[in-house]
């Protein structure tokens, strides 16, 4: 099979982790007789440095022409990088939001799984980590606070800033349908997370989710307020199967969930629309604090590439091989710095990639 993949290495650790994920994809392609055609595009700071803007139309067209996109991460240190002296619409993150909107990637799937081998890296009490967990955070990705009108003004000498959280019922319905469809194939429970005790947007969210739920009588629906959910994620993560939530809540809750899997370096993601196309990226950012040191964990990006094989290309055996290689290497005790624990063997980003390639080969 011919796989047409656009890569966005991005900024910070992005190029390092994408390099390792590509090595793994190449190794799977070789073992299973596929051919991969890669095209690289610039986004975020890397695009600003070359084109003066975080995403060009040509880059979007190149992404659209591929079957799927593999992305690293974008952005710099938001307090020191010169990119953050630019107007907000020219900063790295504007490129990321723009590509999500341009490709209509409204559903962000973030599986948070505690691998048995990483129980020691999980900061939770032993009786909780010993149980393990396997949840899927479904985050709405093209609406809500990150896409509403915003402005900063000065009124009577007082600076004032506004961000707007808007959802219409169609935006809520389509992500809810995706969430319930997926829950039907899992353990059949959806926890819809909102702040319906305060926000109108959350009250609409809750009522549309309830309407959708009527078409899925075999899926259990529960509602949970976001502040409680943040607490429950560290108290008892095994209670969750599919967490269905809006853009900003999902952003924050998925970083929290990642840490109970051991590290954010383990959390993969797929950003999808209603077609087989997808943008696959780790849930973390560009980690400027460790960029260029070859110590980043590439596993989140490698597992995102596995999600691409499974979903966009229907290559289940190949995706299984990548996931099995990750488990194998962890079982053998190899760890990047972020998931290191006593008695394990510390490896660099490159070495982790090489080990995964060897196990696949």
Ligand X SMILES: NC(=O)C1=CN([C@@H]2O[C@H](COP(=O)(O)OP(=O)(O)OC[C@H]3O[C@@H](n4cnc5c(N)ncnc54)[C@H](O)[C@@H]3O)[C@@H](O)[C@H]2O)C=CC1
Ligand Y SMILES: CC(C)CC(=O)C(=O)O
Give the interface with ligand Y as residue ranges (CB under 6 A): 93, 96, 146, 251, 283
Pair of tokens at residue 297:
């964990």
Strand ranges in 78-211 using DSSP code E only, listed in sequence order: 107-113, 134-140, 150-155, 158-163, 189-194
- 52 burial level (CB within 10 Å; 0-12, 13-18, 19+): exposed
Q: Would you say 40 is a known binding-site residue?
A: no
CB 138 within 8 A of CB 247: no
Long-range pairs for 231-237: beta carbons < 8 A, 24 or more residues apart: 233/257, 233/260, 234/124, 234/260, 235/128, 236/128, 237/112, 237/114, 237/124, 237/128, 237/133, 237/135
54 touches 91 (CB < 8 A): yes
Q: Which does 201 bind (CB under 5 to 8 A by kind): ligand X, Mg ion, ligand Y, none?
A: none
Structure tokens that stand for 319 in this block: 């995706």
Of 205, 212, 283, the closest CA to residue 245 belongs to 205
Tokens of 304: 């995102």
Pick the catalytic residue: 11, 23, 115, 146? 146
Nearer to ligand Y (CB atom), residue 44 or residue 298: 44
Q: How far is the CB of 252 from ligand X (least distance, A)?
A: 11
| Pick from 287, 358, 351, 343: nearest CA to 117 | 343
15: number of CA atoms within 13 Å, CB side?
A: 13
Chain residue whose CB lies nearest ligand Y? 93
Nearer to ligand X, 76 or 237 (CB): 76
Cβ atoms of 335 and 347 within 8 Å: the answer is yes
Residue 315, binding choice from ligand X, Mg ion, ligand Y, none, Cβ under 5 to 8 Å by partner class: none
| 251 labelled ligand-binding | yes
Closest approach of ligand Y to the CB of residue 136, in Å: 15
Q: What is the DSSP letter of 338?
A: G
**Residue 43 or residue 329: which is nearer to ligand Y going by CB?**
43
Contacts with Mg ion, residue ranges (CB under 5 A): 251
> Is 305 flagged in the annotation as binding?
no
Core vs surface per residue 196-206: b (16+ CB within 10 A) or e = beebebbebbb
In the complex, the residues that contact ligand X under the rule CB under 6 A are: 13, 73-76, 78, 93, 96, 264-265, 281, 284-290, 296-297, 300, 338
Considering the complex, what minimum distance in angstroms separates the CB of residue 61 from ligand Y? Answer: 22
Give 249 or 311: the residue with its C-beta nearer to ligand Y: 249
Distance in Å from the first CA to the final CA of the chain: 18
Among the listed residues 115, 167, 195, 338, the single catalytic one is 195
Residue 146 binding target from ligand X, Mg ion, ligand Y, none, CB below 5 to 8 Å by type: ligand Y
Asked if 255 is an active-site residue, the reply is yes
Query: Radius of gyration of the chain from Cα atoms?
Result: 20
Binding site partner of 297, from Mg ion, ligand X, ligand Y, none, Cβ cut-off 5-8 A by kind? ligand X
285: annotated binding-site residue?
A: yes
Q: Which does 286 bind (CB under 5 to 8 A by kind): ligand X, Mg ion, ligand Y, none?
A: ligand X
Q: Which of 200, 227, 236, 314 is catalytic?
A: 227
CA 153 to chain centre: 33
For residue 325, the surrounding DSSP H or E stretch is helix 316-331
In this complex, which beta carbon is closest to ligand X, that of residue 92 or of residue 202?
92
Active-site option among 251, 280, 334, 338? 251
| Residue 297 counted as an annotated binding residue | yes
Give catalytic status of residue 251 as yes or no: yes
171: tokens are 């935006």
Q: How far is the CB of 40 from ligand X (least distance, A)?
A: 16
Q: Is 146 a catalytic residue?
A: yes
- Is 77 annotated as ligand-binding? no
Q: Which is nearer to ligand Y, 23 or 72 (CB)?
A: 72
Catalytic residues: 146, 195, 227, 251, 255
Binding-site entries for NAD(+): 285-297
């Amino acid at each position: 099979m011919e796989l047409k993949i656009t890569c966005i290495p991005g900024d910070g650790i992005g190029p390092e982790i994408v390099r390792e994920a590509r090595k793994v994809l190449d190794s799977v392609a070789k073992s299973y007789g596929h051919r991969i055609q890669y095209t690289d595009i610039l986004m975020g700071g890397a695009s600003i440095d070359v084109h003066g803007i975080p995403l060009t139309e040509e880059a979007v067209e190149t992404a659209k022409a591929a079957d799927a996109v593999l992305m690293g991460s974008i952005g710099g240190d938001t307090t020191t990088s010169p990119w953050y002296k630019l107007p907000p619409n020219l900063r790295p993150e504007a490129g990321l939001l723009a590509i999500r909107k341009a490709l209509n990637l409204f559903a962000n799937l973030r599986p948070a799984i505690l691998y048995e081998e990483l129980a020691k890296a999980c900061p939770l009490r032993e009786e909780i980590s010993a149980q393990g967990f396997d949840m899927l955070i479904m985050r709405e990705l093209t609406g809500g606070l990150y896409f509403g009108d915003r402005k900063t003004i000065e009124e009577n000498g007082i600076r004032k800033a506004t961000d707007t959280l808007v959802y219409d019922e169609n935006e809520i319905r389509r992500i809810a349908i995706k969430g319930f469809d997926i829950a039907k194939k899992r353990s059949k429970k959806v926890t819809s997370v909102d702040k319906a005790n305060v926000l109108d947007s959350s009250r609409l969210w809750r009522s549309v989710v309830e309407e959708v739920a009527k078409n899925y009588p075999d899926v259990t629906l529960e509602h949970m307020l976001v502040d409680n959910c943040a607490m429950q994620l560290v108290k008892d993560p095994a209670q969750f199967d599919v967490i269905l939530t809006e853009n900003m809540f999902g952003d924050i809750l998925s970083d929290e969930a990642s840490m109970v899997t051991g590290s954010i370096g383990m959390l993969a993601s797929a950003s999808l629309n209603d077609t087989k196309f997808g943008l696959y990226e780790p849930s973390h950012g560009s980690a400027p604090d460790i960029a260029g040191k070859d110590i980043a964990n590439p596993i989140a990006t490698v597992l995102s590439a596995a999600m691409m094989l499974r979903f966009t290309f229907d290559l289940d055996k190949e995706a299984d091989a990548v996931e099995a290689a990750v488990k194998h290497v962890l079982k053998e005790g190899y760890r990047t710095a972020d998931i290191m624990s006593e008695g394990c063997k510390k490896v660099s980003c490159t070495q982790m990639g090489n080990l995964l390639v060897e196990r696949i080969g």
